[in-house]
Structure 1
Amino acid sequence: MLQVIISGLITGSLYSLAALGLVMIFKTSDIVNFSQGEMAMFNTFIAFTLLTSLKVPYFLAMIITMVFAAVMGLTLHRIVIKPLEKAPLVSSMIATLGLIMILNGLAGNLFGFDTKQFPKMFSGKNVEFLGVSVDPNSILTIAVTVVIMLALFYFFKYTKTGLALRAASQNPEAAELMGISVNKVITLTWIISAVLSSIAGMLIAPTTFLDINMMADIHLKSFSAAVLGGFTSFVGPVVGGLILGISENLFGKYVSLSWKTVFAFGLIIVMLVIKPNGILGKTYRKKV
């Protein structure tokens, strides 16, 4: 059981990482970025090209990919989302659905439609402790996720930019009156979200495969993790991702592996019925 739980923590941490990007954009602009998974996939192909074709060292390739992801997030926001800021929210969401097709087709034509094996950072033997066998790359996944979570916690809690982002997410009008540029905050959230998606993609690809559809299942489950934990909380996606990862692994091990994904989404439906705002979600009331 401990092996299954550890494996669930590893998977859940990836769900949490991807879900955080979704929640950041949603809290500042009320937009659900359905193209988050495709952004992760495209950036992972960039990392793959750097590692295999250009022979860039692993750590440097990750840094370059994150920079590319930041530019992508900035570009997509300025070109696609910002012109629609006066339009109904559904227009922006439909635009992100369109980005799915654009990024998917662009990646296929640039990098190919064949499945590829993404190189691992470590190729050593598994680490054994308490009867549990863990791949070194899985330990890296947990370590990177923990560091990112702590960095984001510090950013939101103790930096002026992080406080501005929290203020804009809670009350954009009041934030504007206090001198905070909400437009810049929203742009920043798209940049951070894109970087988080690129990291998630680079951590997921070595454990599965790399092709244009690699993030389809992960993206749906990261969205589910955000719903489970609460879309109105920055901590919620982390909690939701870990719970989802552990619970679906336990179900797959002791009940049915083929019904594991069905169970994961069934869990979300049950949560929406019992607690519509998620485990840590809050209900905000507005006076009209």
Structure 2
Amino acid sequence: MRADRLVSLVLLLRQHGRLSAAALARELEVSTRTVLRDVEALSAAGVPVFAERGRHGGFALLPGFRTELTGLNHDEALALVVAGSRRGAQVFGLGSALASAMLKVVDALPESYRTTAAGAAQRLLIDPETDLLARRRDVEEPPDAVVAEVRRAVFAGHRLRIRYAAVDQAPKWRTVDPVGLVTVRDQGYLLATRSGEERTYRLSRILAAEELDEPAQRPDRVDLDRAWRERSTRFRTGGDQVTVRVRVDPARRAELVGTALAVLAEEADADGRLRMEVAFQDARHAEWALWQLAPGAEALAPQWLRDSLRDRAAAIATRYTASP
């Protein structure tokens, strides 16, 4: 880990010319004290790094210094494979590996290309954490150490022990045969089998993981896209799924469809509003989705959902009727 960090430090200085200890610490995700120790280690190893004091000072390399330390390690190469989605790399615990790999790739470019690429990169922002309304996306990111253990078991074809916290259940240890990893809308999932039956686990709910020496019981080849589609279909048609009839403003239709599992029927009323029959994962999902759309949507059935939404609205109205 330290060797990779030292290489990244050198590449950062090559690309930026001069950086303060605080800036290097932010880029490398370590403390400034660690950066100072790393600089001393580089100097001792003969790398011509020097400090410039003053307001605009920092660390820099002697002009003309070049390193050939651009070889990618396994995780960095893997990060580049999934780099089509930076969030995908983050979900699979490869965010730091992706940053390190990109430093090495940029450093390997001819100087003219490197300058052009750096300038172009400043003009592009992909998938920011907030939208125009300054709303942050709440993305559950599992610890990198846990995801790394899961990832190793998947690639090595070994069985895996995971401590999993299912919804409304106490965490339990279970042994699974990992099949593959999937990321959907910034959520990561482990596809596996347990006692021969297919299982899907959300990575953010895996609290601990341990790769075992036993080989996983799984086929040599897998079509993950097909496997995911089949599991998604079973998920939408089973479990505690509920069906809801709703009248919705056409302007809010996309929001409703985006959160529902499936649209089962749809027709337009005389007033232009849409009358739809949609499926939700369970009762809590249905109540949450319709509450988000109010007053742009009205649940027509089942009655328990109308009652629940009415009671919630009444409680909020009562709260805001009284003076604070």
Q: TM-score per shorter chain, which class?
A: under 0.3
Q: Name the TM-score, length of structure 2 as normaliser.
A: 0.21
Higher strand share: 2
Q: Name the TM-score, length of structure 1 as normaliser.
A: 0.23
